[in-house]
Amino acid sequence: MDWTLLSETIRQSLDSPFNIINATELNGGDIHSAYRLHTSEGNFFLKLNQPNYAPLLQTEANSLKKLSATNSIRVPEVISQGHLAGKNPQAWLLLSYFELSHKGDDHQRGRDLAELHHQIHPDKQFGWFENNYIGHTLQQNTWHNDWVEFYGQQRLLPQLKLAAKNQAPKSLLANGIQVFKKLPYFFEDYQPQASLLHGDLWAGNSGFDKAGEPVFFDPASYYGDRETDLSMTELFGGYGTAFYQGYQTVFPINSGYQQRKSLYQLYHLLNHFNLFGRSYLSQVERMIQSLLNA
């Protein structure tokens, strides 16, 4: 990486002093390269990738800006973004830097998420002003007035179509379509609001700063049922009892969530199958069967 050229590129984008003194590569991401930049203006967080990944960085920046504007959850500030020319062209996104910890106020983290979910779309519509990405899978976000149709047509069905291309068993696909057809059953007594969502809230996408205050990052935001965020927090673990207690104090969870939780987790498990392969196959099959048996 030509850090001198990047310094100049960022300096021009900011129209202010910016000189990279050193860069430390960070672990954790499976799509972009990530660095802590020590600069003349302090520390920053940098994401780098090939130019064709620029749309992922752009949509992430847009989500972060929207989340930040709510003053509900704390997210990295978008400093600048752009393209690096030269022999090794790169797309880049520059964010404020947090020294992260796994220990902090989990009760407050739950309350913060609940405050975010109180941000309801003014026209009660589900979707987003642009398509974005879940991992590096395109996530469709066309505006819709009906959540069941939105979730079926723009979440489950695209993942099932991808799974077909990725040689998923025909039985899985057939049963997945039956879950798709059964969607109205899960919403007979529940009408979700169009809450502003983080969108990809596994435990690796939130943490705490050095003072123990919650921080959220790597969003794939849209307006949808808040239970989709909650279900993702439970899919791979990492959130403690205090988190859910904190959430409940601000925005009590609806009855029936435990049944709908699997429905929402299925979307992410299908995406993991499509991104990472057959190691997720049996988990997807079990979840589809449990939904058909509900």
CATH of the domain at 190: 3.90.1200.10
Task: For residues 290-294, give the mean pLDDT.
Answer: 94
Asked whether the predicted pLDDT for residue 28 surpasses 70, the reply is no
Total number of residues shown for the chain: 294
Percent of the chain with pLDDT over 90: 93
pLDDT of residue 294: 87
Asked whether the predicted pLDDT for residue 115 surpasses 70, the reply is yes
Residue 220, in any domain of the structure: yes
Q: Which of 96, 121, 154 is the last residue of a domain?
A: 96
Other C-beta atoms lying within 10 Å of the C-beta of residue 265:
20
pLDDT of residue 88: 87
Phi, then psi, of 5 in degrees rounded to 5: -65, -40
Please provide the distance, in angstroms rounded to a whole number, between the alpha carbons at the two ends of the chain: 53
Q: How far apart are CA 115 and CA 122, in angstroms?
A: 16
Domain shared by 25 and 48, yes or no: yes
The mean of the pLDDT values for the chain is: 95
CA 7 to chain centre: 29
Q: How far apart are CA 39 and CA 128, in angstroms?
A: 35
Task: For residues 81-99, give the mean pLDDT.
Answer: 93
Domain shared by 137 and 209, yes or no: yes
Residue from 293, 271, 269, 294 nearest 283 by CA: 269
Asked whether the predicted pLDDT for residue 29 surpasses 80, the reply is no
Q: Which of 96, 121, 139 is the last residue of a domain?
A: 96
Per the structure, the complete domain to which residue 10 belongs is given by: 3-96
Asked whether the predicted pLDDT for residue 273 surpasses 90, the reply is yes
Asked whether the predicted pLDDT for residue 153 surpasses 90, the reply is yes
CA 263 to chain centre: 17
pLDDT in tens, 188-230: 999 999 999 999 999 999 999 999 999 999 999 999 999 999 9
Nearest-10 Cα torsion for 9, 15, 19, 22: -60
How many folded domains does the chain comprise?
Answer: 2
pLDDT of residue 30: 76
Domain shared by 92 and 116, yes or no: no
Domain shared by 86 and 213, yes or no: no
pLDDT of residue 87: 84
β-sheet bridge partners, residue 24: 36
106, 112, 200, 225: the active-site residue? 200
pLDDT of residue 134: 97
Task: For residues 180-194, give the mean pLDDT.
Answer: 96
200 has catalytic annotation? yes
- Model confidence at 102, pLDDT cuts 50, 70, 90, reads confident
pLDDT of residue 57: 97
pLDDT of residue 89: 93
Angle between helices 170-182 and 157-165 (to 10 degrees): 170
Task: For residues 91-120, give the mean pLDDT.
Answer: 96
Asked whether the predicted pLDDT for residue 156 surpasses 80, the reply is yes
225 exposed, middle or buried (CB, 10 Å; 0-12, 13-18, 19+)? buried
Looking at residue 55, which CATH number applies to its domain? Answer: 3.30.200.20
- Model confidence at 55, pLDDT cuts 50, 70, 90, reads very high
Q: How far apart are CA 167 and CA 149, in angstroms?
A: 26
Residue 101, in any domain of the structure: no
Q: How far apart are CA 9 and CA 81, in angstroms?
A: 10
